[in-house]
Amino acid sequence: MLDLEKSEKIKIIEEKAYALGFDGFGITSPEIGEAGTNFSQWLSLGYAGEMAYMARGEEKRRDTNLVLEGVKSIICLRTNYFTTEKGMDFLDLPEKGDISLYALNKDYHDIITPRLKELEKNIQEGFADCKTKIYVDTGPLLEKPLAQRAGLGWIGKHTNLISQGIGSWYFLSEILIDVELPESEVAENHCGTCRSCIDICPTDAIVAPYVLDSKKCISYLNIELKGVIPIEFRKAIGNRIYGCDDCQIVCPWNSYAVKTDEPAFKGVDGNFLLTELILMDDEEFRRRFKGSPIKRIKRRGLLRNVAVALGNSKNLQSVPFLIKALKDKEPLIRAHTVWALGELLLFESIALLDGKLAAETEPMVLKELDGLRQRYLAG
């Protein structure tokens, strides 16, 4: 490959990318420009919530030379994970938990990273002595603006990347290189006057077109947020226990989504029985979600979400399971279980909880109980 012209080398690399399972390939320069300014403004408005890593990596996100010194080009790649149709009918099954489509299969980092490393090796063979760096949404890169400039799609009003004729059910990854490569044509925006994603959002997290307040986003609340879910968002969460796909489900461009035949992305049934999940111990959690993205939020995070979903289920048959969950070792789970029982039993929950939690000392649990008393006794 060393004797080939640069354009021929790129063609071979692109063909290799598709052979490895990537279904989108584009190249852009490393300049961030206006996207960096917009990111800093987004941070200043507090829209990152408790995602402190966003602010820690601000300088690198605005200057890719701090990520790879001497970087001249960024190869952007797209990987389709769309394996099954998804609508809003999961809301009709409140006894089951809904999990975001991307999390129904193996952790995509484990799937994409080896392929990315193989492609990186191919690039290094083609461009002798070049420096490279790879990322699968694990580093300080503004990957969506870069992917748009690389022609892979445009950033929609919900802030996800959309590809014309493909939709938005895919992962992004990048290879930075200190060799100047010809840039792809920038993707045009085709959202038009559509506001389906804005209107469907259960928590009004899309505060303006192309602006997301993460603190309101359900995917932030049930994944990124590690502590207590603010009470004002709990009912809107419904039975979503890991992520939220609503804005993608209603996007008209996803009607063109093509299913991948990638075996690694063949997911399991996305509806999980809540009463089974709420009583999982550590061993069962590790067994059931081994190799899954869900392991990221740990048992305490998932069962916190399950407790909220049970509180929204209106299913009184779940009360005995929630009563057992009051004995869970994790205060975070017990606290949200208190709220769930309050939603299901209303005023009657006070006497029950006072008895079951007579020896409770954890502040977050007691705060939930006090909140119930104020809610039902004050009125």
Longest dimension (CA), the chain: 81
- How far is Cα 189 from Cα 162, in angstroms, rounded to an integer? 9
Catalytic site residue 98? no
Sequence-distant (6+) residues with CB within 8 A of 50 are 224, 225, 226, 227
Calculate the CA 16 to chain-centre distance. Answer: 28
- How far is Cα 183 from Cα 353, in angstroms, rounded to an integer? 63
Cα 76 to Cα 25, 26, 46, 143, 174: the distances in Å are 6, 5, 28, 8, 5
Token pair in block for residue 99: 């999990």
CA-wise closest residue to 143 among 215, 219, 74: 74
Catalytic residue among 137, 204, 213, 246: 137
Residues tagged active-site: 137
